[in-house]
Amino acid sequence: MCGIAGWIDLSNNLSNEKGILKEMTDRIALRGPDAEGFWLSDHAALGHRRLIVIDPEGGAQPMLYKQGDDYIALAYNGELYNYLELRNELIEKGHQFKTNSDTEVMLHAYLEWNEDFVKHLNGIYAFGIWDERSERLMLGRDHLGVKPLFFAKRGDKLIFGSEIKSLLAHPEVEAKLDKEGLSEVFGLGPMRTPGNAIFKDIQEVRAGHYVTFSKQGMNHNQYWELESKEHTDDVETTVQTIRELLEDTVNRQLIADKPLVSMLSGGLDSSGLTAIAGKEFKEEGKTLPTYSIDFVNSEEDFETDFLRRDLDEPWVKRVSEHVGTDHKSVVFPADKLVENLLVPMRARDLPGVGEIETSLYLLFKEMKQDATVALSGESADEVFSGYPWFHQEEFLNADIFPWLINIGNMSRILKDDIQEKLDLKAYQHQRFEEALEELPVLEGESEREAKQRQMSYMFITRFLPFMLDRKDRASMMTGFEVRVPFCDYRLVEYLWNIPFEMKNIDDIEKGILRRAFEGYLPDDVRNRRKSAYPSTKDDAYLAGLNKWMLEVLDNPQSPILSIANEDVLREIANGEHPVINGSKARGLLDYLLQINAWLDEYNIELQL
């Protein structure tokens, strides 16, 4: 994995602009701690930070190909999981390769198929290709948006980078927040609108899209989308197809020239992937290392709730012993979580969900000591329709994103004039309606089936991007690559049209996946009900947040005071608010402390 940054200027010579380009790549150095590279020409400046995973000697970037007097230059972040097949196909078409890297395969695929080359890729990637032959920049992103890519147009310039912080290093990109951006932050939370980068006049390349920029203008192109059609396979065929796709996907994603490990929570998703990977390791005479996360006093403090039914650790041990992994459980105290709360915000350049992101970052930091690459079960719930909301009428019939139904507390803390300017309910409804307009419907479905398809679309296109952002930034902040087999676009395409009742066969969420893992996992593990990512229950965590928020409120320079109602925040921080208390207070304080630091550290100018 890596980080890319640069810009195109159609009117000015960039040959001497290495200083700015290096500042842009330095901002994302943690994404690629192993090497740096630069290429500058008359109209292009491309920079790269490298995390070496495949072909240490041959994968240096930006990578160039010269045709006549013109260069085609590639800066790329990601992995191609089908690069060996593509390489052989391209060799048959007459292409010659100097390295064993997937980067060179991507470059030659572009040379062979031009813009259509993205339709030949299977992987996680974000890239920038400058083609001097046509003086055109092409920016592209993988099918599900696992790897990030942002851009900002400034006249004849297009500035781009893996993270927003790299764009902000360019002198023509400023940190500004307007009404729409603030509505995203307070109305949608971390689950922002695809393509919306929150900062004014900065955009995101959407998943499954590419952007071209030349003297002819800028064009946005969608090369992949979900297509609704009747699912004709019977249950047995469906189970076998899912199993084969997962086996193929995991095997592809085990390719690495650096140590690889697997995340293991004891839940269905990570356990199944660990079992497949563990089998491959065993056949090669190796033992798969696995990692899980836990918290100090978790057993004593644990309480069941809507999303967490039982403790993970006993199940982690069960799976590790069954598969035969070398397991390590990493345990964190509450004060460590408070101390590192702002790190994920700095990684994402945006406020996030707090403790859950913090613990993930700390886990990756520990894993990085032993490895460079990990497998993760992320996204299975989104693509297999595994959340409880899929069968609850309140959520199925809502005219709002299901995860926002109980977000009313956010508007309570805003000043009256800010509430009036933003009208968060209207903004939430607008964004929901826009998502509905994209939905590929299937004629002939029952009303309930149509609602479940709609719910699935919302989770895949609106909720999953947040989960992938969280994982990418938390891992890359530590120079660590996380692969997500459940995001293989072939699997997602297939699952999209499986009826919800078949996905939930045996009257249990993700029942079809449980059947696919038969033989890989013990029955008690396969039938364990969903339990969400673990969270600390230690009262010391909330106490730390309360103390911190009171310090913020006592500082008249705190930027949050220009937006939020100080009296309400004091009530919450003192544990005196009649509604926002306990776990509700934790989640809100997590978020607001990040917003305050974000506005301050990024020196954001509010334009309301």
End-to-end CA distance of the chain: 38
Q: Are residues 268 and 417 in the same domain?
A: yes
- The residues facing 433 across adjacent strands are none
- The residues facing 289 across adjacent strands are 326
Q: What are phi and psi of 299, to 5 degrees?
A: -65, -40
User: What pLDDT sits at residue 531?
Assistant: 79
Better-scored residue on pLDDT, 534 or 160: 160
Instruction: Classify 130 in phi/psi space as left (phi over 0), alpha (psi -120 to 50) or beta.
Output: beta
575 is written with which tokens? 């544990």
pLDDT at 17 over 70: yes
List of residues 6+ apart from 143 with CB closer than 8 A:
207, 208, 224, 487, 489, 492
Residue 568 within a domain = yes
How distant, in Å, are the alpha carbons of 2, 424, 479, 512, 547 from that of 473? 11, 27, 10, 31, 27
Cα angle 493, 265, 461; round to 5: 30
Q: CATH no. for residue 402?
A: 3.40.50.620
For residue 406, name the pLDDT band (cuts at 50, 70, 90): low
Share of the chain above pLDDT 70, in %: 98
* Count: domains in the chain: 3
Q: CATH no. for residue 210?
A: 3.60.20.10
Residues 594 and 354: beta-carbon distance below 8 Å: yes
Residues 346 and 474: beta-carbon distance below 8 Å: no
Q: Which of 185, 201, 222 finishes a domain?
A: 222
pLDDT at 422 over 70: yes
pLDDT at 414 over 70: yes
Dihedral sign, Cα of residue 418, residue 423, residue 428, residue 432 = negative
- The residues facing 329 across adjacent strands are 292
User: What pLDDT sits at residue 306?
Assistant: 62
Tell me the C-alpha distance between 564 and 410, whole Å: 10
Q: Are residues 195 and 254 in the same domain?
A: no
Q: What is the DSSP letter of 459?
A: I
Q: Are residues 63 and 161 in the same domain?
A: yes
441-449: average pLDDT: 94
User: What pLDDT sits at residue 23?
Assistant: 98
Among 240, 255, 509, which residue's Cα sits nearest to residue 375?
255
Q: Which of 505, 526, 547 finishes a domain?
A: 526
Side chain identity at 191, as an amino acid letter?
M
Sheet holding 157-161, edge to edge: 35-40, 44-50, 2-9, 157-161, 150-154, 203-204
Which domain does 39 fall in, by range?
Answer: 2-222
207-214: average pLDDT: 98
How distant, in Å, are the alpha carbons of 93, 109, 143, 494 from that of 85? 13, 12, 19, 22
Q: Are residues 418 and 488 in the same domain?
A: yes
User: What pLDDT sits at residue 305?
Assistant: 66
Could you say which of 1, 2, 63, 86 is catalytic? 2
User: What pLDDT sits at residue 123?
Assistant: 97
Could you write out the DSSP letters of every residue in 177-220?
Answer: EEHHHHHIIIIITTSPPTTB-SSTT-EEPPTTEEEEEETTEEEE
* 487 given a catalytic annotation: no
Average pLDDT over the chain, rounded to an integer = 94
Residue 370 within a domain = yes
- Per DSSP (E only), the strands in 203-325 are 203-204, 209-214, 217-222, 260-263, 289-295
Q: Which of 172, 193, 222 finishes a domain?
A: 222
Question: pLDDT, tens digit, for every residue of 251-300?
Answer: 999 988 889 999 999 999 999 999 999 999 999 999 999 999 999 987 77
240-247: average pLDDT: 98
For residue 534, name the pLDDT band (cuts at 50, 70, 90): confident
Q: Are residues 252 and 207 in the same domain?
A: no
Tell me the C-alpha distance between 260 and 485, whole Å: 14
Tell me the C-alpha distance between 194 and 379, whole Å: 17
For residue 412, name the pLDDT band (cuts at 50, 70, 90): confident
